[in-house]
Amino acid sequence: MKVNAAIPIDVLAHYLEAPAELLPDLPIILSYLDELGPSPKDVYDLMTGLDLPQRFKILDLGCGKGAIDIFLAQQFNCSIRGIDAFPPFINYAIKKAKDFKLDQVCEFECNDIKKELKKNSQYDVVIFVSVGDIYGDYIETLGEIRKVIKPQGYLIIEDGFLKENKINRGFHEYGCYSQLIDLLSHFQDNIMKERLSSTEEIINQNKRNNAALEKGANELLKRYPEKDGLVNRYLEAQKKESEIIEQDLGIGLWVIQKGLN
Ligand SMILES: C[S@@+](CC[C@H](N)C(=O)[O-])C[C@H]1O[C@@H](n2cnc3c(N)ncnc32)[C@H](O)[C@@H]1O
């Protein structure tokens, strides 16, 4: 089966942390996991109390299966546009929005974030969580995203950082907390709110996620037992990454208010 992704398959595979040959099977493996990043409730909690207009506009860049967007659309009077490069995720989000009768306020499109940003539309809130620096440079990524945020609008961003005295054991070019804060402050915007996950929260989330992946993987293997080598290597890599994250990394969610320009 071919995946008609909005970005090159090897790039998408990197962001989905899966080998490219497994991408066609990823929807089954992920069928018990909607939340591919932070908990929608945590994002909602951070957004409460922000100074936002009636029916404010949200753009979610790299929205995955739309879990955060569906949750926010149930809580707020807002309209939401979610963009992701992986067609099965977008198809899932469209169906879920319809099932929840939220299709009037949630639209989802399979597109490259970089193309979306070129449209120069303006949003009250932009969500960019668990995606990473898509331009290969953090400041450039933030700078491009800022262009679609209205003056004094908000960016909700999630990222990881190395805990003190930890060295980078791969997976991602993480710096320490103060380096990340320096990057987030580069444009002199106001870091309004911060939520740092506790190690216990990270461990519990990894446990839930890995159990959901295993359940989906078992269903795939019932249908295609010959894929066991590929699938088991993927599950092992996910567990190894979880261990490194739990031991070495902190994870934070921030609300950043853009300045007047
Ligand atoms: C770890 S998932 C996070 C999904 C979602 N933000 C969430 O929290 O559930 C990262 C997502 O970013 C998407 N992505 C990465 N680079 C992209 C790009 N250039 N354009 C569109 N989507 C992209 C991937 O397809 C993937 O679904």
Q: Ligand 1 atom closest to Cα of 15? A: 15
Residue 211's identity, in one-letter code, is: A
Query: What CATH homologous superfamily does 39-198+250-257 map to?
Result: Vaccinia Virus protein VP39 (3.40.50.150)
Which pLDDT tens digits describe the chain residue by residue (261 residues)? 677 889 999 999 989 999 999 999 999 999 999 999 999 999 999 999 999 999 999 999 999 999 999 999 999 999 999 999 999 999 999 999 999 999 999 999 999 999 999 998 999 999 999 998 899 899 999 999 999 999 999 999 999 999 887 676 665 678 899 999 999 999 999 999 999 999 999 999 999 999 999 999 999 999 999 999 999 999 999 999 999 899 989 999 999 999 987
> Three-state SS for 15?
helix
How big is the chain, counted in residues? 261
Gap between the Cα atoms of 248 and 140, Å rounded:
26
CA of 63 to the centre of ligand 1 (A): 6
Q: What is the pLDDT of residue 231?
A: 96
Q: What is the pLDDT of residue 196?
A: 97
CA of 5 to the centre of ligand 1 (A): 12
Domain-wise residue ranges, the chain: 39-198+250-257
Which of 15, 23, 157 for mutating ligand 1's site (highest number of atoms within 8 Å of CB)? Answer: 15
Q: What is the pLDDT of residue 169?
A: 67
Q: What is the pLDDT of residue 175?
A: 87
Whole-prediction pTM: 0.95
Q: Ligand 1 atom closest to Cα of 67? A: 9
Gap between the Cα atoms of 214 and 232, Å rounded:
9
- 33-54 per-residue burial string, b: 16 or more CB within 10 A, e: under 16: bbbbbbbbebbeebbeebebee
CA of 14 to the centre of ligand 1 (A): 10
